[in-house]
Amino acid sequence: MIIRILGEGQYRVPESALGELNALDAEVQAAVDAGDQATFRARLGDLLATVRARGTGVPDAELTASGLVLPGPDSELADVAALLGDEGLIPG
């Protein structure tokens, strides 16, 4: 699966990482729902770090559609709240 981190680039992430990413996504959503800026920032950082660690960067010259788009590390809580659906940032 290709995951784009806004403002950063794309990563090819194995399907086997989706469970871990969904768990982190749930933590991001809980922090947003609680309006907890500090926890939101930490959990979003954990989610993005996991994408980077488990994924392989897609070269800029390779044009590939993203299956998921995640907010960048400097995103604000209110902006991410607007992106969240019923299933968070990562469906499943």
Within-domain flag for 88: no
Higher per-residue pLDDT: 84 or 39: 39
Q: What is the pLDDT of residue 63?
A: 84
pTM of the model: 0.90
> In the prediction, which pLDDT does 86 show?
66
Give 83-89's long-range contacts (Cβ < 8 A, gap of 24+).
Answer: 84/29, 84/32, 88/22, 88/25, 88/26, 88/28, 88/29, 89/25, 89/28, 89/29, 89/47
Identify whether 39 is part of a domain: yes
On the question of pLDDT at 37 being above 80, the answer is: yes
User: How many structural domains comprise the chain?
Assistant: 1
Residue 58 has pLDDT above 90, yes or no: yes
Range 21-47 average pLDDT: 95
What is the domain range of residue 62?
Answer: 2-83
51 or 79, which is more confident? 51
The pLDDT of residue 89 is above 90: no
Does residue 92 lie within any of the structural domains?
Answer: no
Contact 57, 11 (CB under 8 A): yes
